[in-house]
Structures are given as C-alpha cells and as structure tokens.
Amino acid sequence: MEHLETHERMQMWENIQRALINEQIDQFRADFLELHPYDQAKIFEEQEEDIRFLIYTYLSPEEMAEVMEHVDRDLVSDFISEMVPAFAAKIFEEMSTDDAVDILNELEKNKVASFLTIMDKKASDEIKQLLHYEEKTAGSIMTTEFVVIHHEMTVKEAMRHLRKEAPEAETIYYIYVVDTYKKLVGVISLRDLIIAEGDWIIYDVMSERVVSVPVGEDQEDIAQMMRDYDFLALPVVDFQNHLLGIITVDDIMDVMEEEASDDYSKLAGISDVERFGDTAIQAAKKRLPWLIALLFLGMFTASIISKFESALDQVALLAAFIPVIAGMAGNTGTQALAVAVRSISTGDMDKIGKLSVIWQEAKTGVITGTTCGVLITFIVAFWYGELYLGILVGISIMATLIVATIAGAFVPLVMHRFKIDPAVASGPFITTLNDIISMLIYFGLATAFMNLLIGGG
C-alpha cells in the first residue's frame, strides 16, 4: 500500500478503532495488517495506552516486531516498558538483531538483563554479541543476519545455501565469501551468482576487491563511505579480517538522521540530544552547561565594554552601534561555522584542504566586510550627520566581519585536528566569542580616533 497521508491514516484508523472497540479481531487484523509497517507504526504511536494494550493483545510478537522497527526511536523505549516483559522479549527475538540492539541500548541495564534472560538463547546470544561494542561504532550498528558462502563452493551449492539462508537475512544483494578460517576473501552480487554456470567455483567468479570497515570504525565515517561508494551493504571485519557482520543502507539512513540531530543540538548549544518527550528538568540539564559557560563569556564581554566607559562618556552615540556590530559578528561567524562543520562532516575538507577552506572564508569575509562597511559608513554619515563616526563604524564592521568569518571557520578545524567533535564549536559559542572580538575592535578604534570623533561632533 502507498504511503498514507495524515488524513488518510486517521480515516483508516477510525475503521480499525471501530473494529477494536467492537472486539472484531479478524476485521481489525485484516485492516491493520494490510497497511505498510510504517503506517502501522504511525497509527500505533497516536493511540492512548488502553488502545495500545488492545493492539498488543490482537497482534503476534512477530507482527508487533515489524511495527516497533518503524516506531520513532524516541518513543519506542516507553512502549517496550509498558508491555508484559515476556511479550516484549518475544518481540526482540523477532526483530532484526541490529534494531533490537538499538532499542535495548536506550533501556536501563537491569531491564536489558531481564529481557535477555527471558529470551530464546540463540537470539539472546546474538544480541549480547552486539551489545558489548562501543556505541556509534560499526559493531554497534551492524547486523549478523546475512548470507555468507565458502570460496570453494560451486555456484549450484551456493544457490542452494542462499535459498536456505535468505529468509533470515537482512539483505541478499551482496553475498560475502569467506575462506576456511572465516576470513573475508571476496564478494559476489546476486545477479552475478544467478547468471553463473552451476559447476563454476565461487572463487573463480567472485570479486576479490572487497571494501570493508573495521568493527571499531566510527558510524559517521561509515555513512560517508557508503555515500561515496553507493553501497547497499558494507561488511564489518575484525583486525584479522574475520567477517563479523554487515551494515545495510537502512542502518546508515538512521545514522545520518541521528548524526544530523546530534550536530544540530550541538550547534544550538545543547550538550546532549534533546528529545521532544523530555521533561522541563531534563531539557534544562542539557542546556544549562552551555548557558552557564556562555554566561561567564558574556560577563567578560560586559567587562570589556566597562573598560571603555570613558569613550562612551565622551561620545554617547557609540553605544547605539554596539548591537549592530556584535550582531553582525555573530551572524557571519555562525555562517562560516556552518560551512566548516559541513565540509568536515561530508569529507569535502579532506578533498580541498584546511587552508583552502580558511582562505576561501577569508576572501568571503573581505568581500562581505567591505560591502557592509562601506554601506554602514554612508548610512551613519547621512542619518546622523557624523562622517567620522560613520567611518569608524564602517571600519569596525569591515574588520569585525573579516576576523569573525575566519574565526568561524578556524575554530571547528582546530577542534577537528584535536579529535574533538567540531559541532561542539556551536553557534552560541562562536557568537559570544565574536562579541568579544568585535567589542575589542570597535572600542579599540574608537579610543585611537577619539580626537577626530570629538572634533567631528
């Protein structure tokens, strides 16, 4: 069925809900299971707890597993917690191993231990195998549900093996080949396997050029690699090249969404990813560390202004342009920051080089700074009738925009060089830093040319 619009989903739900309330289980199952799992999940998310309990009753763990795989990750742990533990454990058994691990990582450790104890041993062992890998690495997002064949098999034997293992595999578009020691030695596409002669040996038809990633590789780097190579799946190996699992494109789409959300939170000055369902206290805890740090930086900005109190006393009109200069510095610094962080995250930084990025931003700063500086000079001179003040503000804007643009590009590059997430160089941090720079430039020039300002006034 096609992806449902919200109003279509609501209309469909009215029919489904009617069947639920009237205890027409067969009708409910017929209507609900006709939907795509994504639409099932969206309908499920919108329901009250008592209705969700009815759904748990009318669906099997296997059917519920498909729904939970498409439920919003911010909500799924709450839904799992409200289920009967034995039912939830059965759902984990039916889910893809990597999806089950993603959800279990969101739960409290004592709950995870409880579910693993109740679960089938085989499923529990597979999940435990992935749970011990560090979060946000290849090991934590890979799946162990894939098809692997031996390099000495014939094509006919491989096809027979594929038909047997395919129902449990997450993808069969690539079939990975291992040797006697379970080391990754090749890969063959499903198409090449189908068109090969039955008595051919896999070793003779496979490709030995296999791109793989180590189990400890960062998930963001893996996403970049899969984008560059247009892979649907990527094998994960240990330090001896033993095949441990595969990462599929749907896993990477989740990673890209997670990383984008993470970077956005950091750029917004939030220490951890803030979720829609967080309480006010939880949200405040995530925002306060940055806000307190920025508060002290803001106090430093205020102390700079207080140092130039005499200049303000002599030319009070100087104060009118503080918000303009500070605001422009913050804006241009944030723009340069966004460009630098994006070039790092997409890998463009490695292609064009760090110095090229800084040089490009410096040239941009000169052009924008000069343009804005000349413009504000004429505006102040015409509006206030103060030519020297206009020149001062114009030069300050020009110098501030050049320095702020370079700072906006330079800070994340330095952080990246020292293995610190460049997104930590957040918008609020750059804005406050550039406030300090802009005030030093503005009042430094005002003090140096005070005689002209007083004489011109």
What CATH number should be reported for the domain holding residue 154? 3.10.580.10
C-alpha triplet 127, 133, 137: angle, nearest 5° = 115
- Domain-ending residue, one of 85, 102, 136: 136
Question: pLDDT tens across 402-416, in order?
Answer: 988 888 888 878 777
Whether residue 1 is contained in a domain is answered as no
Q: What is the mean pLDDT of residues 49-77?
A: 89
Q: List, edge to edge, every strand of the sheet that includes 233-237.
A: 213-214, 233-237, 243-248
- Domain-ending residue, one of 79, 102, 136: 136
pLDDT band, residue 290 (cuts 50/70/90):
low
Residues 254 and 285 in one domain: no
Question: pLDDT tens across 366-378, in order?
Answer: 999 999 999 999 9
Whether residue 204 is contained in a domain is answered as yes
Q: How far apart (Å, rounded) are the C-alpha atoms in residues 307 and 317?
A: 17
- Domain-ending residue, one of 136, 159, 181: 136
Residues 72 and 24 in one domain: yes
pLDDT band, residue 424 (cuts 50/70/90):
low
Please check whether residue 18 is in contact with residue 11, taking contact to mean a CB–CB distance below 8 angstroms: no
pLDDT band, residue 2 (cuts 50/70/90):
very low
Question: pLDDT tens across 72-83, in order?
Answer: 877 888 899 899
Please check whether residue 380 is in contact with residue 374, taking contact to mean a CB–CB distance below 8 angstroms: no
Q: What is the mean pLDDT of residues 65-78?
A: 87
Residues 183 and 229 in one domain: yes
In the predicted structure, residue 344 carries a pLDDT above the cut 80? no
Whether residue 79 is contained in a domain is answered as yes
What CATH number should be reported for the domain holding residue 374? 1.10.357.20
pLDDT band, residue 194 (cuts 50/70/90):
very high
Tell me the CA end-to-end span of the chain in Å, nearest whole number.
75
What CATH number should be reported for the domain holding residue 110? 1.25.60.10
pLDDT value at position 132?
A: 84
Residues 451 and 321 in one domain: yes
Question: pLDDT tens across 116-161, in order?
Answer: 999 988 888 888 888 888 888 888 889 888 899 999 999 999 999 9
pLDDT value at position 259?
A: 61
Q: For the chain, state the CA radius of gyration.
A: 30
Whether residue 410 is contained in a domain is answered as yes
Cα distances from 18 to residues 13, 52, 88, in angstroms, run: 8, 14, 26
**Considering Cα of 254, then 291, then 433, then 418, what sign does the dihedral take?**
negative
In the predicted structure, residue 382 carries a pLDDT above the cut 90? no
Residues 206 and 299 in one domain: no
The parent domain of residue 321 ranges over 280-456
Residues 399 and 438 in one domain: yes
Whether residue 198 is contained in a domain is answered as yes
Tokens of 129: 């195998």
Whether residue 321 is contained in a domain is answered as yes
Residues 395 and 350 in one domain: yes
Percent of the chain at pLDDT above 70? Answer: 80
Instruction: Tell me the pLDDT of the chain averaged across its residues.
Output: 82
Q: How many residues does the chain have?
A: 457
Question: pLDDT tens across 237-278, in order?
Answer: 999 999 999 998 888 877 766 665 555 455 544 445 445 455
Residues 298 and 442 in one domain: yes
> 0.85 cut: is pTM over it?
no
Of 408, 405, 446, residue with least CA distance to 304: 446
pLDDT value at position 350?
A: 67
- Total number of domains constituting the chain: 3
In the predicted structure, residue 184 carries a pLDDT above the cut 90? yes
Q: How far apart (Å, rounded) are the C-alpha atoms in residues 52 and 255?
A: 28
Whether residue 132 is contained in a domain is answered as yes
Please check whether residue 310 is in contact with residue 384, taking contact to mean a CB–CB distance below 8 angstroms: no
Residues 288 and 370 in one domain: yes
In the predicted structure, residue 89 carries a pLDDT above the cut 70? yes
Tokens of 411: 């800070």
pLDDT value at position 445?
A: 85
Q: Which residue has the higher pLDDT, 314 or 352?
A: 352
Percent of the chain at pLDDT above 90? Answer: 26
> What is the Cα 196 distance to its own chain's centre?
41
Whether residue 266 is contained in a domain is answered as no
Q: Which residue has the higher pLDDT, 271 or 210?
A: 210
Which range has the worst mean pLDDT, 44-58, 187-201, 335-349? 335-349
Residues 189 and 220 in one domain: yes
Q: What is the mean pLDDT of residues 177-203?
A: 93
Residues 106 and 58 in one domain: yes
Residues 217 and 296 in one domain: no
In the predicted structure, residue 188 carries a pLDDT above the cut 60? yes
pLDDT value at position 274?
A: 47
Q: Which residue has the higher pLDDT, 343 or 301?
A: 343
Tokens of 13: 């739900």
